[in-house]
Amino acid sequence: MFHVKPRRAELKTAQIDTRRIIIFLLFAFGIAWTVGLIVYLRGGLVNSPALIPGTGITEAVVFIALGYMWAPALAHILTRLFTREGWKEVGLRPNLRGRWPAWVLAWFVPTLLVLLGIFIYFAVYPGQFDSSLGVLSDLIASAETQSGQTFPLSPWTILLIQVGQAVLLAPLVNGFFTFGEEFGWRAYLQPKLSGLGFRKAVVLVGLIWGLWHAPVIAMGHNFGSDYAGAPWTGILAMTWFTLWASVIFGWLTVKGGSVWPAVIAHASINGIAGTAILLLKPEAPTNPLLGPLAVGVLGGLPWLLLGLYFLWRGAPTAGKNCFA
């Protein structure tokens, strides 16, 4: 038998640019974890100084939103500048022609997955479900006291309106902040790892993405601090969620030929996720590692199932670069 050597072009596509990947990760983790240290030294997430009293806007909120969460995007830009890589295939072109279904899926599927996760959680723990929406009712009562006006709508009507607004507007309102992560993980790291194959690339990105969250999880983000094994079990739970979210976002990125579907999908989650808290009884003993937020094991079950399906199915455009 004759041994046929691979052509140089084939060898090049199969290689992994380890140097640039390491530089990118050093920037992404270095910037984010430095910001996290500053937040910790300034009181953490709980005791951070207020910037605008009465609004909930603290130093931590600003540092996390504009520093920590934008670290991957800054790492993308700095890596290209530092290594003189150039600006080809950065994933910013919308690429709508023939790929618009990815945008539709990105806009609505994350909301559906979050709501399904909430349903699963309360199906397992029905005693924690508050049909009177006590948490929301208290918020409405406080707003009425401060404004001196009475809101004519019921708590359930207000909740449904909020959900509708989240579905329609969250991808636009939150997109600025989620772009900071997606322009790093999906627009740079995933294509750099594509030589491993779609499945390995998105799984590895998901694990890295989860670990990257460690400092803010340790300070109480998403899970608080009152749970068994804190903060290590929270970091594991977050990584478990980002693993499957990475598979889904990575699939949408390849399907859409652009980073924007992942930005939209991520923004959709951030807009709808807090709905679960409004459905909990205030006095109910809960385990945030299980749910009802999507980062919990039960709340994230729909993400697991869809992620497994996409792993089984593989890349939607086999053999092509994310942004080809």
Task: Give the CA distances from residue 170 to residues 62, 178, 271, in Å, rounded to whole numbers and listed in that order.
Answer: 19, 11, 5
Q: Which pLDDT value is given to residue 310?
A: 96
Chunk the chain into consecutive blocks of 10 residues (it has 324) and report each block's average pLDDT, rounded to whole numbers.
Answer: 41 71 98 97 91 82 94 98 92 87 94 96 94 81 71 82 85 91 97 95 98 97 92 97 98 95 95 89 86 95 98 75 64
The answer to whether 279 and 117 are in contact (CB under 8 A) is no
Residue 266: which residues within 8 A CB-CB, separation 6 or more?
110, 174, 178, 181, 182, 245, 249
Q: What is the pLDDT of residues 50-77, one digit of tens each?
A: 888 777 789 999 999 999 999 999 999 9
CA distance linking residue 190 with residue 161, whole number of Å: 36
Q: Which pLDDT value is given to residue 321?
A: 58
3-class DSSP assignment, residue 16: coil
User: What dihedral do alpha carbons 142, 157, 295, 307 form, nearest 10°?
Assistant: -160
Q: Which pLDDT value is given to residue 255?
A: 94
The answer to whether 324 and 93 are in contact (CB under 8 A) is no
Q: Which of 279, 56, 302, 296 is nearest to 160 (CA)?
A: 279
Q: Which pLDDT value is given to residue 29?
A: 98
Token representation of residue 179: 């772009």
- Secondary structure percentages of the chain, helix, strand, coil, to 5: 65, 0, 35
Q: Which pLDDT value is given to residue 5?
A: 45
Q: Which pLDDT value is given to residue 140?
A: 77
Strand pairing partners for 57? 52
Q: What is the DSSP letter of 70?
A: T
Question: Is the full-model pTM beyond 0.75?
Answer: yes
Q: What is the pLDDT of residues 228-264, one digit of tens each?
A: 999 999 999 999 999 999 999 999 999 999 999 999 9
